[in-house]
A and B are shown apart, each in its own frame.
Chain A
Amino acid sequence: DQQVKQNSPSLSVQEGRISILNCDYTNSMFDYFLWYKKYPAEGPTFLISISSIKDKNEDGRFTVFLNKSAKHLSLHIVPSQPGDSAVYFCAASAVGGNQFYFGTGTSLTVIP
């Protein structure tokens, strides 16, 4: 049973425009959320995180929004750059839990 879902396998965006990647979760106990970026044949690298006490966290071009009532989070990348082309995973963990749960990933292509 997939507790973290990324329903869009792929997304294409023009350079300079906004990229919005979405993630839904089912477990109301999740209280910490992360986004990772992954290039082929490499390990994921951490991008940005948010705890459930916030609804927004910003780091440069990257902003994560959390809507707890909808159990939904999104990653905004503005402006998008060709180097942002990668697979993006969202992940979640629960207070007192033992592991991180990952979505299936969204492949972002930024077109120059």
Chain B
Amino acid sequence: DGGITQSPKYLFRKEGQNVTLSCEQNLNHDAMYWYRQDPGQGLRLIYYSQIVNDFQKGDIAEGYSVSREKKESFPLTVTSAQKNPTAFYLCASSISRVTGELFFGEGSRLTVL
């Protein structure tokens, strides 16, 4: 069954801690994306990657970091520098840069205590 797997689904973090959200896809897609959703707002792009070992900042990259060492994996680290990290995080992939549709994972909800 092809798809995108995000983990963990729920995560709690103390202020000052870094946390890493996992995103794995077995769709053989080149492009992967991280979005953040806040109540009443659309999906805002954090980072995206079009090929392995390459990634670009999206609209709200400050306080986040990513890596793309393998085609299947695109983990997102929420650092202590992110001022307001409590949100719902969505990972997505697409066959190529912006053709076709985005396939989304189930999401990860991060709560900072």
Number of interface residues of B (CB under 8 A): 28
Cβ of B63 < 8 Å from any Cβ of A?
no
Residues of A within 8 A of B106 (CB): 42-43
Given A91-B43, A104-B40, 19 more A-B residue pairs with CB atoms under 8 Å apart are A2-B42, A6-B42, A34-B101, A36-B104, A42-B106, A43-B104, A43-B105, A43-B106, A44-B43, A44-B102, A46-B101, A46-B103, A93-B98, A94-B98, A98-B98, A99-B45, A99-B48, A99-B98, A103-B42
| CB of B71 closer than 8 Å to a CB of A | no
Contact B107 A41, beta carbon cutoff 8 Å: yes
Q: How many residues of A contact B (CB 8 A)?
A: 26
- The chain A residues found within 8 Å of chain B, CB to CB, are 2, 4, 6, 9, 32, 34, 36, 41-46, 49, 89, 91, 93-94, 97-100, 102-105
- Whole-angstrom CA separation of A99 from B92 in the bound complex: 11
Alpha-carbon distance between A104 and B40 when the two chains are bound, in angstroms = 6
Kindly report which residue of chain A lies nearest to residue B103, judged by CB atoms.
Answer: A46
Given A42-B106, A46-B103, A99-B58, A32 and B98 contact (CB-CB distance below 8 Å): yes
| 8 Å CB contact of A89 from B42, B58, B92 | B42
Asked if B97 is at the interface (CB within 8 A of a chain A CB), the reply is: yes
Instruction: Flag if B107 contacts A32 (CB, 8 Å).
Output: no
Most buried by B among A32, A42, A44, A105: A44
A44 to B44, CA, bound (A): 13
**How many angstroms from the CA of A100 to the CA of B97 in the assembled complex?**
9
Q: Are B104 and A100 in contact (CB under 8 A)?
A: no
